[in-house]
Chains A and B, each alone.
Chain A
Amino acid sequence: MSAVFDVLNLKKAFSGLTVTNDVSLSMAPGDRVALIGPNGAGKTTFVNLVTGNLRPDSGEVRLNGETVTKIDAIGRVQRGLVRSFQVTRLFQEMTPAEHVALAVLQRDGRAGKMFGNFLSMPDVMDEASVLLAKLGLHDLMHRKVSEIAYGQQRLLEIAMALALKPKVLLLDEPAAGVPQSDTGRIEQALADLPADLAVLMIEHDMDLVFRFAKRVIVLAAGTIIFDGSPADVTKDAAVREAYLGSYANASHAA
């Protein structure tokens, strides 16, 4: 299958310090890829370069074959590249139904409508309640976000991303900060993601990575040092070096 998402020789330096060094990767629809790496490996910078929040010094990002390197973050979302956030960024005073409805309306170019209430738009309400039901949030859809549990807020983040009908989904630590008792729900939600969606997940929790990903990419010091199957990643000498190195430093510091 042809690639839906390509990164070609991406480079970025901050005042002389190279943070992303010649990173290339390609993803096809349906891919489940995990991006891992020790702290300071440049994962966040890489995500920001891909989403358009940062300009690369050189290199290209392509979505569905179209070069989007010069297109801003909003334009990339409209072309199907959607991200979730590591720390939930939800609107505290709004309900889950409002969040998802807003995403659906925005996707359809109707978020600028100045009359009518989404509660009386059956198509929007139906889509929102189906999506929220899939993630187990149906009973909470008219509660304020500030009143629902953190694990459910993380699920709502995923629901919002899905409401935009992305082609490529970047999940930034979807299970971060979620209590152990709720991670099952998140894993289920990840397993249920649409089959043709290309997903790139950044995650620290290796158990989750192994269960979710068909392919693992390891980033260290701004470079990809491993790109292969989850089964091979732990055997790889370079990966061990990168992680052990950082652990060794960490224990020194401690």
Chain B
Amino acid sequence: MNHETVTKTARQNRTIGRDLIGIGAIIAVAAIGYLLFPDNLALLTRIIAIALLVLSLDLVTGYCGVATLGHAALFGSGAYAAGIAAAHFGITNPLLMTLAGILGGAIAGLICGVIILRAHGLPQLVLSISLIYLFHEFANKASSWTGGSDGLSGISPDPLFGVYEFDLWGQTAYVFGVFLLLAVFVLLRFLVRSPFGMLCRGIKEDPLRIMAMGASPKIALIKMYVISGAVAGVGGALNAISTQVVGLDSLSFTQSAESLVMLVLGGTGSLFGALTGTVIFMLFEDYVSAANPFHWLTMVGALLISVVLFAPKGLYGTAAGFIGRRMEKRK
């Protein structure tokens, strides 16, 4: 075996190793969460739903460099699609509801992508903010379909596989969520290192260079937006199935901005970073808001400022960089 094959195999083994570590980590964290918070599975399920939104945001922001503060439009559309399918069309099979969420998210992704990608930088950000307000207002006004500001209720999903009921304890929803997250994670790991993933990383760094190779950055980015929409849609559907209600807050600017904050907290451009950021932010928020209901937002702010100042690559990004350098030195 020559030198090149050795490095190549080593690299392949390393990526497969990281896949397995990732899957193991998700299962381990999910199990620990279940043991630590058996009475608060609703929070954990919500974390998974938001993690799917943050993963989806990472695809366009972290991997492609698109600036957006309106990404909850994709999440909310998925949630409403799943909710409307159940409440208005009697599609109460949780898997079909998830499929409706994927479809709703992907369509919202296509719409948002086509509009947002017309601009770059600041105008792009403004377009994304306008879009989330438009989506929000649309859902508010179409109240016969969405329940308007009262929220969409009357969602009662069937038992999963006809056996496991989505009950008050939330065990089914939690386990269902963990499986959805694992499936999405594995698919995205394939995606980000596929030729398409490589193309997107290139676009993030230098779209003109990609054009000089004869590829269209715009088409690739729109494709990525649709995929991102599907992922956010899974999160939205999970939220609709587990809470059995869809509110306007799932289509809000606040939700969009918070998901961006979580992504930056964990580290952009890495699936692990997106997951880390979501878990830490939401647990921290839950903890400090209970410990100090008056000043908890100040503490969240302080955490964010210190991360941005002292760990600009995010918590996961900085830690991974540190460990990587240590391992390099040891070699």
Contact = CB atoms under 8 A, between A and B. Distances in A.
Contacts of A111: 195-196, 198-199, 215
Given A106-B199, A117-B12, A138-B4, A93 B194 contact: no
Contacts of A210: none
B214 A164 contact: yes
Contacts of B194: 113-117
A98 B209 CA distance: 14
B8 interface: yes
B149 interface: no
B208 interface: yes
B220 to A, nearest CB: 7
B312 interface: no
B195 A73 contact: no
A112 B202 CA distance: 13
A26 interface: no
Contact of B213 (A51, A77, A118, A129): A77
A122 to B, nearest CB: 10
A141 B4 contact: yes
B8 A112 contact: no
A112 B199 contact: yes
Given A91-B205, A102-B198, A164 B213 contact: yes
Contact of A73 (B11, B15, B206, B212): B212
A102 B195 contact: yes
Contact of A119 (B8, B201, B213): B8
Contacts of A120: 12
Residue of A77, A90, A117 with highest tally of chain B CB at under 10 A: A117
Given A94-B198, A112-B220, A125-B8, A89 B209 contact: yes
A188 interface: no
A74 B211 contact: yes
Nearest to B194: A114
A53 B251 CA distance: 39
Contacts of A134: none
Contact of A107 (B8, B202, B214): B214
A73 B211 contact: yes
Given A111-B195, A114-B191, A83 B212 contact: yes
Contact of A112 (B11, B190, B193, B223): B223
Contacts of B214: 74, 77-78, 82, 106-107, 164
B216 interface: yes
Interface string A95-108: 00010011101110
A106 B205 CA distance: 17
Given A91-B202, A129-B4, A110 B211 contact: no
B195 A91 contact: no
Contact of B215 (A106, A119, A125, A139): A106
Contact of A85 (B197, B212, B216, B223): B212
Nearest to B219: A112
A246 interface: no
B222 to A, nearest CB: 12
Contacts of B15: 117
B292 interface: no
B231 to A, nearest CB: 13
Given A91-B205, A91-B206, A102-B202, A114 B213 contact: no
A103 B191 CA distance: 18
Nearest to A99: B202
Contacts of A112: 195-196, 199, 220, 223
Interface in B161-204: 190-191, 193-199, 201-202
A102 to B, nearest CB: 5
B298 interface: no
B4 A116 contact: no
A114 B188 CA distance: 10
Nearest to A52: B211
B201 A106 contact: no
B144 interface: no
A48 B194 CA distance: 32
B208 to A, nearest CB: 7
Contacts of A94: 198, 201-202
A142 B199 contact: no
A107 B199 CA distance: 13
A159 interface: no
A115 B232 CA distance: 20
A58 interface: no
Interface of A: 51, 73-74, 77-78, 82-83, 85, 89-94, 98, 101-103, 105-107, 110-120, 125, 129, 138-139, 141-142, 160, 164
16 contacts: A77-B214, A82-B212, A89-B212, A101-B195, A102-B195, A106-B215, A111-B198, A113-B196, A114-B195, A115-B190, A116-B195, A117-B12, A125-B8, A139-B3, A141-B4, A160-B213
Given A106-B199, A117-B15, 7 more contacts: A51-B212, A106-B215, A111-B195, A114-B195, A125-B8, A138-B4, A142-B11
Interface of B: 3-4, 7-8, 11-12, 15, 190-191, 193-199, 201-202, 205-206, 208-209, 211-216, 220, 223
A-B interface, 7 closest residue pairs, ranked by CB to CB distance from nearest = A77-B214, A89-B209, A78-B214, A113-B195, A105-B195, A91-B205, A114-B196
